[in-house]
Amino acid sequence: MRTIPTCTLQAARRATLRHQGLLKGAYFGQGKQAVVRAIDALGYLQIDTISVVDRSHHHILKTRISNYTPELLTQLQAVDRQVFEYWSHAAAYLPIQDYRYYLPMMHGFGAQRSHDKALTQAILQRIAGEGPLQSKDFEQQRDRQSNGWWDWKPAKHALEYLFLSGQLMINERLGFAKVYDLTERILPSWIDTRMPSVTEWARFSLLKSLKAMGIGTLADLTYARATVRRFTAPDFLPDYAAALQQLLDEGEACAVDVEGETWYALPGLFEPTRTQLDHSQVQCLSPFDNLVINRKRILRLFNFDYQLECYVPAAKRRYGYFCLPLLWGDQLLGRMDCKAERKTGVLRIRHLQIESQHVLTDALISALERGIQRLAEGLLCTRIAVETTTPTQLRQAIKLQSSH
């Protein structure tokens, strides 16, 4: 039997952080092209409606790109057409070059979901004639051509149907509101629109996951693909195990023994590098960050049990409504339940918790201060209010400055 290389859990953890752009600063560079590189490397950038601290897509990019601003993402979508929106693990920004691999979901959704054909046709005709529109443009407005009334709620559902079935794309967002336009007016002409086979899709999916994670089990690599089953036709059944074996046979992936368990990685993953851990500041991650989205994987890699508790009944919450995981070097060492109070410019930290196995050294406290300060500045908060800490002595040790 062929012997496979071995890897420590620590090496696997650092490989994951490197591929996620979190092992050292400026991994993806700066500016607009850094945003393109980050989204391509991560595979998807989750969009979420919760803005207790920051919109998830902005938060995830701010963590990795020091000069990121929301305008960069807006330009990449609305002007440069280098990213588009669709469903991946959840609603997400995706690399435009990956468009064809979402066609099975679009076609499957369109074929299986019922819809009001007259209404969707009327919406398509109106957008074709008037240009990009938001859902509010269909809110109880007199349609002069048909002398009828637009009913906003059915129209909103119809817009989502047309979007998820691929007939409309999101041209841009104004604030957080979607602006829809015809796919043919948005999709660049050079994009490959051939329908991938189920085998091609499985191969694409595994390679994107390997690129994003660096290393993982087959369950890790396919964790974020459950949406495929929700959207695609019943006979679209990716055989991930067979696709993985093909990648192994072709040398595009390799098996690795991680403490007695078989994981998979891209070739050359563990070639010597001079990358040193960045302990200069703690990273306050988004709860929707690609690194922490798989609870079982993070528990195994970091010995850190993380769950976003805003969906947990209040009485059952252990840490708080909206806790940010705290990354220091290659360790997830705690959580910070906080809220950006934008009207008053206050970043309110309800509970800052460092797990008991971590010693509150001067280096850790200094890094924590810098990380929280950077988060506050990125949110345009001029004051930081800390309510509770665990351990309690952290409350007195940490010094946070207000800006004016």
pLDDT for position 403 = 57
Convert the pLDDT of each residue in 251-291 to its tens digit: 999 999 999 999 999 998 766 555 678 888 999 999 999 99
Higher pLDDT, 142 or 275: 275
Q: What percent of the chain has pLDDT over 90?
A: 76
* Rounded distance between C-alpha atoms, residue 65 and residue 37, angstroms: 11
User: Above 80 in pLDDT, residue 33?
Assistant: yes
Residue with tokens 């967002």, as numbered in its chain: 173
State which amino acid sits at residue 343: K
What does the mean pLDDT of the chain come to? 91
Name the more confident of 234 and 54: 54
Burial label, 126 (beta-carbon count in 10 A; 0-12, 13-18, 19+)? middle
∠31-33-39 over CA atoms, to 5°? 110
**pLDDT for 140:** 56
pLDDT of residue 144: 45
Arithmetic mean of pLDDT, 111-115: 88
Q: Are 203 and 247 in contact (CB under 8 A)?
A: yes
For residue 47, is pLDDT > 90?
yes
- pLDDT given for residue 1 in this prediction: 52
pLDDT for the residue 149: 39
pLDDT for 152 beyond 60: no
